[in-house]
Amino acid sequence: MSQKVAVLGTGKIGEALLSGMIRAGWAPADLLVTARRPERAEELRARYGVTPVSNTEAAKTADTLILTVKPQDMGTLLDELAPHVPADRLIISGAAGIPTSFFEERLAAGTPVVRVMTNTPALVDEAMSVISAGSHATEQHLAHAEEIFGGVGKTLRVPESQQDACTALSGSGPAYFFYLVEAMTDAGILLGLPRDKAHDLIVQSAIGAAVMLRDSGEHPVRLRENVTSPAGTTINAIRELENHGVRAALIAALEAARDRSRELASGKKD
């Protein structure tokens, strides 16, 4: 962990990654950060003891550059970095929809690039980070990316061709669960419960169900059937979900998210 790592564009996800690395044993002296606003950079220095630098300085001095800016800002950032990034620097991109070829075409020939799609549970060390290698990334580069993102959750390697699907499932995934909890909370209120009690009931049920899915090894159908007794309350609720096409709507929603990820890769903004 003696290599210097720079997080460029340190927003919420970048800060979560930074704090996770420190908890995992990285020395703050080996971590550099850049931010759009000087006051944000100083806030990170005060909070974590890391060193704020310019994008150019990060490119010249860090062994690994983690780019966490928004996809629409990535081209401008690469234009700034390109003259200063040697071909032996590892570039890790956290931008949705942007393929590794986008970076390889704009940086020195042979520059290793690793693409990572993480998600907002990085803020509580429960992220799902999906990692793919560019044309010049080696096993060592992938292992280094896993070491970094393993500090904020679980990692999974996939071929880059599957990144758009992973973006739809896990990158955007937390939002679907928040949406579901919101709808179930409204239902609880309709059924006569106070909002805070409905919220607590649903959140704990979601946590328990997720732990069972993770730890039991059972198929979700089997776990659902264990709750679904003949002519009971649950089967009546499931029937209504099926009548309203919830399963089909979820499939269509994830396809739409995947398609939007592909559009971002092609440069389409609207």
Strand partners, 100: none
Weakest-pLDDT range from 1-5, 32-36, 162-166, 219-223:
1-5
Query: What are the C-alpha distances in Å from 175 to residues 120, 169, 172?
Result: 9, 10, 6
pTM of the model: 0.90
What's the CA gap between 94 and 75, in Å, rounded? Answer: 13
- Which two tokens mark 210? 């997720």
pLDDT tier at 97, thresholds 50, 70, 90: confident
- Residue 74 one-letter amino acid: M
What's the CA gap between 78 and 18, in Å, rounded? Answer: 21
What's the CA gap between 207 and 222, in Å, rounded? Answer: 18
pLDDT tens, position by position, 146-180: 999 999 999 999 999 999 999 999 999 999 999 99
What's the CA gap between 58 and 165, in Å, rounded? Answer: 32
